[in-house]
Chains A and B, each alone.
Chain A
Amino acid sequence: GAVVSQHPSRVICKSGTSVKIECRSLDFQATTMFWYRQFPKQSLMLMATSNEGSKATYEQGVEKDKFLINHASLTLSTLTVTSAHPEDSSFYICSARDPSGLELDEQFFGPGTRLTVL
């Protein structure tokens, strides 16, 4: 299947700093990528839909000025957590579909980024 990578896998930062997380589709082009957040012992919650060449679409309750998304190319989407606070500590996962793949509905997930804000 298609491969999605994320970087970094783990980041620890101080409160008030900004953190950038990269999501890359390694062997396919993705016009759309999705960003999820997963708190400990909870489910995945969709934060936003990242669209190549246009503004991201945010889910209700997600602050677009705090979680900046840039999808500048067909293989890269970035999520920047601005002015991070301890409550932003979570597991952030991206996903994408391979439009050229055999299974058009299947989403491929990145390995996730564990963010810890001190």
Chain B
Amino acid sequence: GENVEQHPSTLSVQEGDSAVIKCTYSDSASNYFPWYKQELGKRPQLIIDIRSNVGEKKDQRIAVTLNKTAKHFSLHITETQPEDSAVYFCAAEYAGGTSYGKLTFGQGTILTVHP
């Protein structure tokens, strides 16, 4: 099955700095890669996603890059703000066959943005 590794486990930055979180996946058949932000006790919130036919996607301060050959994808947050502090999860999905729709999550990154 799919295996997703996420690094770093914790990340501390100053307000205004950039933050980068990296993930690798094992199944080359995976074709959908969402990123989630989760606050304590709440549901995961989709912040950006990318499909395997795209190398990069940007939405305001958030961007995701995907390298299919190396099987890794990264989340980039620019101009970080204290409200960006949360746990971030990457995930990979093999959207086909009997595994349709199953998400495998990374271990999570605790992001702390200091004012």
Contact = CB atoms under 8 A, between A and B. Distances in A.
Contacts of B41: 91, 112, 114
Interface residues of B, number: 22
Interface residues on A, range: 20 to 34
Interface in A3-56: 32, 34, 42-46, 49
A49 B93 contact: no
A37 to B, nearest CB: 11
Interface in B19-74: 32, 34, 41-44, 46, 49, 51
Contacts of A105: 32, 34, 49, 51, 93, 95
Interface of B: 32, 34, 41-44, 46, 49, 51, 89, 93, 95, 98, 100-108
Given A32-B101, A105-B34, A107-B101, 11 more contacts: A44-B44, A44-B105, A46-B102, A49-B102, A57-B98, A97-B101, A105-B51, A105-B95, A109-B43, A110-B43, A112-B41
